[in-house]
């Protein structure tokens, strides 16, 4: 594990998960409307997930702070939006977090009209896309580092968001199905989910596991292409390809494979028959999320191990 870049590993994986989760929640909203459910019913299913995304993202930002060697100068980090992808990443992060928080808070207290809240939600989703692009840009734009200056990097980031985000939302949906934590917190009467809502929830769970499975398979497909491109990309690229092709990478792929099989095969078929939130289903989805997250953290560690440049690598590069 690349301990030096641990803050960045955690930040990028967690931020991507929050983006993917927010998109997944948005997709469920759209899907519910297509099914002609009332907005407040759909909210009953998606709210828990949304309130879980916020703290996650905050945790990610706190982790990112540890990457800075002088966080007191953080106020200057948006000085160079004109040319620095890092400035752009920070701006996008602030926008995503800001819009997301505005949406979550107004949703909780029922402030503003539904229409305005929805515009804020759409802005959040777009800021999330901007954040993913900017995050990719930070690495992709470094033309001197072959392991980063490769289209696979933005692909990995998007795939990661679409793998972990939907799985996280699936866990949140299961929580809603099992108990209704929000009603408890708000001291409201607990209404059981009616048949229509359960059917909708099950369909959403199925959709989420399909997206996660496809994203996981896409990561699998991207790796060999990535390594092949590197091993034909000049001395520095070849060197880095051999450096990152380790048993650590195999373990990462193995965990990912198990997560994909669990999400795609077991969970998917279990959801189809479940009339209530069975224990097996909960265990399966939680396991898939944990494995996928672990695998992504390992993959991101490998990403940072790719810091090897064409040109001179100093002792500081070697030591991390």
As a whole number of angstroms, the distance between CA 296 and CA 148 comes to: 16
Residue among 164, 104, 91, 168 nearest 134 (CA)? 91
Name which of residues 128 to 147 contact another protein (CB under 8 A). Answer: 138, 141-145
Q: Which is nearer to another protein, 270 or 309 (CB)?
A: 309
Q: Output the 3-class SS for 217-247.
A: HHHHHHHHHHHHHHHCCCHHHHHHHHHHCCH
In the 8-state DSSP scheme, what is residue 145? -
Interface with another protein, residue 77, by CB under 8 A: yes
Q: Residue 97 Cβ, how far from another protein at the closest point, in Å?
A: 17
Do the Cβ atoms of 197 and 45 come closer than 8 Å? yes
Total residues interacting with another protein, rule: CB under 8 A? 36
The span of 72-80, 111-119, 168-176, 264-272 binding another protein (CB under 8 A) equals 72-80
Q: Which is nearer to another protein, 5 or 159 (CB)?
A: 5
Find the binder of another protein among 109, 186, 187, 315 (CB under 8 A).
315
- Residue 274 near residue 203 (C-beta atoms within 8 A): no
Task: Rule CB under 8 A: choose which of 40, 273, 276, 316 binds another protein.
Answer: 316
Around 172, how many Cα atoms within 13 Å sit in the side-chain half-sphere?
Answer: 27
Interaction of residue 83 with another protein, rule CB under 8 A: yes
Residues comprising the chain, all counted: 320
69 binds another protein (CB under 8 A): yes
Per CB under 8 A, 12 contacts another protein: no
Does residue 68 interact with another protein by CB under 8 A? yes
Using the rule CB under 8 A, is 3 a contact of another protein?
A: no
Among 33, 39, 76, 228, binds another protein (CB under 8 A): 76
Secondary structure letter of residue 5 according to DSSP: T
Q: Is residue 247 near another protein by the rule CB under 8 A?
A: no
Q: Tell whether residue 74 is a contact of another protein (CB under 8 A).
A: yes
CB nearer to another protein: pick between 66 and 111 = 66
Name the one residue in this structure whose structure tokens are 């777009």: 126
One residue of 1, 6, 84, 243 binding another protein per CB under 8 A: 84
Cα-atom radius of gyration of the chain, to the nearest Å?
Answer: 21
Binding another protein (rule: CB under 8 A), the pick from 87, 150, 164, 295 is 87
DSSP 176-208: HHH--HHHHHTT---PPP-HHHHHHHHHHHHHH
Q: How many CB atoms lie within 10 A of CB 204?
A: 25
Restricting to residues 267-286, which ones interact with another protein according to CB under 8 A?
none
Torsion of CA 93, 99, 100, 102, to 10 degrees: 140
40 binds another protein (CB under 8 A): no
Residues that bind another protein (CB under 8 A): 67-71, 73-74, 76-80, 83-87, 90, 138, 141-145, 307, 309-319
């Amino acid at each position: 594990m690349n301990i030096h870049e641990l803050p960045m590993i955690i930040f990028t994986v967690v931020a991507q998960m929050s983006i993917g989760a927010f998109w997944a929640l948005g997709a469920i909203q759209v899907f519910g409307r297509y099914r002609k459910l009332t907005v407040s019913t759909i909210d009953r299913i998606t709210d828990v997930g949304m309130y879980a995304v916020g703290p996650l993202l905050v945790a990610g930002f706190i982790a990112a702070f540890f990457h800075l060697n002088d966080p007191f100068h953080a106020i200057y980090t948006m000085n160079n939006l004109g040319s620095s992808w890092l400035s752009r990443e920070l701006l996008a992060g602030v926008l995503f977090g800001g819009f997301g928080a505005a949406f979550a808070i107004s949703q909780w207290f029922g402030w503003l009209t539904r229409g305005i809240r929805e515009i804020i939600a759409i802005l959040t989703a777009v800021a999330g896309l901007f954040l993913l692009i900017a995050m990719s840009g930070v690495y992709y734009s470094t033309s001197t580092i072959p392991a980063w200056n490769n289209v696979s990097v933005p692909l990995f980031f998007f795939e990661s968001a679409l793998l972990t985000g939907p799985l996280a939302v699936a866990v949140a949906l299961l929580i809603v199905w099992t108990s209704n934590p929000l009603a408890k917190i708000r001291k409201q009467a607990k209404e059981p989910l009616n048949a229509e809502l359960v059917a909708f929830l099950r369909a959403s769970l199925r959709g989420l596991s399909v997206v996660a499975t496809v994203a996981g398979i896409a990561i699998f497909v991207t790796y060999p292409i990535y390594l092949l491109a590197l091993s034909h990309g000049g001395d520095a690229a070849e060197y880095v390809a051999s450096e990152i092709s380790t048993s650590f990478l195999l373990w990462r792929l193995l965990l990912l494979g198990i997560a994909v099989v669990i999400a795609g095969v077991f969970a998917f078929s279990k959801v189809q028959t479940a009339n209530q939130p069975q224990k097996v289903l909960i265990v399966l989805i939680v396991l898939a999320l944990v494995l996928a997250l672990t695998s992504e953290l390992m993959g991101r560690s490998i990403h940072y191990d790719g810091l090897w440049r064409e040109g001179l690598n100093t002792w500081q590069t070697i030591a991390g």
